[in-house]
Amino acid sequence: MNKRKLKLFLKIFFLLLAIQAVIVLIHILFDKGGDTITAITSFLITIISLPISFISSNLPFYSGEGILVTLMFWVLNVVLQTMVVYAFFRIKKKMK
């Protein structure tokens, strides 16, 4: 993988990581309120955790296995998502 491809992969990775962190923080902040924001963020978290739940339905990335295991699941989940988005961009570029 050359540097340009790696830069695109890392940009996608960190963008997805930041978006997911913001969604989870919003969910945590508004969790006690029980309003529509919590319902929306809960739905988004379910969608975000789909790649890791395809491996095993018992493995959502936000599982309560401890901070280290949770971070490992989260990074694995973001890597899987990044590979899908990166492949989409590469295929789209080749079709042009």
Mean pLDDT of the chain: 83
Q: How confident is the model at residue 29 (pLDDT cuts 50, 70, 90)?
A: confident
The domain limits of the chain are 3-95
Q: Which residues of 47-70 are buried (b: 16+ CB within 10 A; e: fewer)?
A: ebbebbeeeeeebbbbeeeeeeee
Separation between Cα atoms, residue 35 and residue 38, nearest integer Å: 6
- Range name among 4-8, 28-32, 57-61 with the lowest pLDDT average: 57-61
Query: What mean pLDDT comes out for the span 47-56?
Result: 77
